[in-house]
Amino acid sequence: MAIPHRQASEEQRKIQMTADRLLVEVQTEEGERKSRGGILIPATADVSRRLEWGEVVITGPTVRSIEVGDSVLFAPDSAYEVEIRGDLYVILREPDVQAVAASAPEDSPGLYL
């Protein structure tokens, strides 16, 4: 019995996340950066313990406090990397998100990016 050959470019499928999963587009920083104190940090510096920001692209049906378009802060070691059509994304569980930066009403107190 022959297995039919599929070509990925011919067939595009809609991605739906399951349960409390989030598909997040990673916001990468390339090159050197400066600390708040003005210290230049080279691109080759080890940032393994550093949290990362990303933008939520798709949410699962049981996600309650995060919406598409929110910026989320997460630990890279809690995420699973996936490449979709050449772009890098990560899959996270809602409890793995450390903070959410969402649009806030004008008179709302708090910190803003």
Q: 71 in a domain, yes or no?
A: yes
Closest by Cα among 36, 33, 7, 15 to 83: 15
Residue 73's pLDDT is: 94
Q: 75 in a domain, yes or no?
A: yes
Q: 41 in a domain, yes or no?
A: no
DSSP 77: G
Q: 44 in a domain, yes or no?
A: no
Spell out the per-residue pLDDT of the chain, length 113, in tens: 444 544 545 467 888 999 999 999 987 666 666 777 878 777 666 656 788 999 999 999 999 999 999 999 999 899 999 998 888 899 999 999 999 986 666 776 666 66
Q: 36 in a domain, yes or no?
A: no
β-pairing, 80-84 vs 87-93, is antiparallel
Residue 81's pLDDT is: 94
Residue 1's pLDDT is: 46
Q: Which domain holds residue 20?
A: 16-28+51-104
Number of domains in the chain: 1
**Residue 76 CB: number of other CB atoms within 10 A?**
15
Q: 59 in a domain, yes or no?
A: yes
